[in-house]
């Protein structure tokens, strides 16, 4: 399991299921409850959050291994890695300032062992991740769920229901340290 000072909960599914869409609707509901959320998103694509021509982009491309850009309202740290392959979730969690958070939500990293809600859309015809992934704690779908599924079953299209599940889960998983 991932070592954190704050509860961590993931949303795992195949591409096209709507993880980001769901999280964009879920985050405001959790914020309304006063929760401070740290978010980690895995992507399989090469990405750049900076723009060519901007000073920070040019300095990073010139050879800075780490580039921190700061203003009065936000800051961002871009780190160039020598590694190829997928990032390790524990390494990403370690980068968060957990002292300012109540909960860490994760999109993706479906093959890592930490509590996750599996999202499933019948129209995609993809196999279930559960029971092959024992760290899945709930299942959210837009279709009929197998009657013998021994997990809480949620409606993927009912964000309020998913929010209630997350807040109930969070109350049961307060950190002990």
Q: Is 138 exposed, middle or buried (0-12, 13-18, 19+ CB in 10 A)?
A: buried
* 114 pLDDT more than 60: yes
Q: What angle do CA 74, 75, 77 make, to 5 degrees?
A: 155
pLDDT in tens, 33-90: 999 999 999 986 666 677 888 888 888 888 888 888 888 998 888 888 877 788 899 9
In the chain the domains, ranked by start, together with CATH numbers, are: 8-44+86-172 (3.40.50.300), 46-84 (no CATH)
Looking at residue 45, its pLDDT comes to 64
Q: Around 95, how many Cα atoms within 13 Å sit in the side-chain half-sphere? A: 13
And the tokens for 145?
């769920």
> What radius of gyration do the chain's Cα atoms show?
18
Angle ∠(50,56,62) on CA atoms, nearest 5: 105
What is the per-residue pLDDT across 1-45, written as a single tens digit (0 to 9) for each? 899 999 999 999 999 999 999 999 999 999 999 999 999 999 866
Q: Provide DSSP, 120-171.
A: E-GGG-PPP-TTT-TTEEEEEESSPPPTT--S-EEETT-HHHHHHHHHHHHH
Q: What's the CA gap between 67 and 79, in Å, rounded?
A: 6
Alpha-carbon distance of 73 to 61, in angstroms, equals: 25
Q: Which residues is 10 bridged to in the sheet?
A: 106, 116
- Give the pLDDT of residue 46: 65
């Amino acid at each position: 399991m991932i070592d954190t000072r704050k509860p961590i909960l993931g949303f795992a599914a195949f591409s096209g299921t709507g993880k980001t869409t769901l999280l964009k609707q879920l985050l405001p509901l959790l914020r309304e409850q006063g929760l401070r959320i740290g978010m980690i998103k895995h992507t399989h694509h090469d990405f750049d959050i900076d723009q060519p021509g901007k000073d920070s982009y040019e300095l990073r491309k010139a050879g800075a291994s780490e580039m921190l850009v700061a203003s009065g309202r936000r800051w961002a740290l871009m780190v160039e890695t020598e590694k190829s392959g997928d990032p390790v979730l524990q390494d990403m969690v370690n980068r968060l300032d957990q002292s300012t958070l109540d909960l860490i939500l994760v999109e993706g990293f479906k093959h890592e062992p930490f509590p996750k809600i599996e999202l499933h859309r019948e129209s995609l015809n993809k196999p279930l991740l559960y029971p092959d992934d024992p760290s899945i704690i709930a299942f959210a779908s837009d279709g009929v769920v197998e009657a013998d599924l021994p997990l809480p079953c949620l409606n993927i299209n009912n964000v309020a229901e998913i929010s209630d599940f997350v807040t109930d889960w969070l109350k049961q998983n307060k950190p002990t340290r």
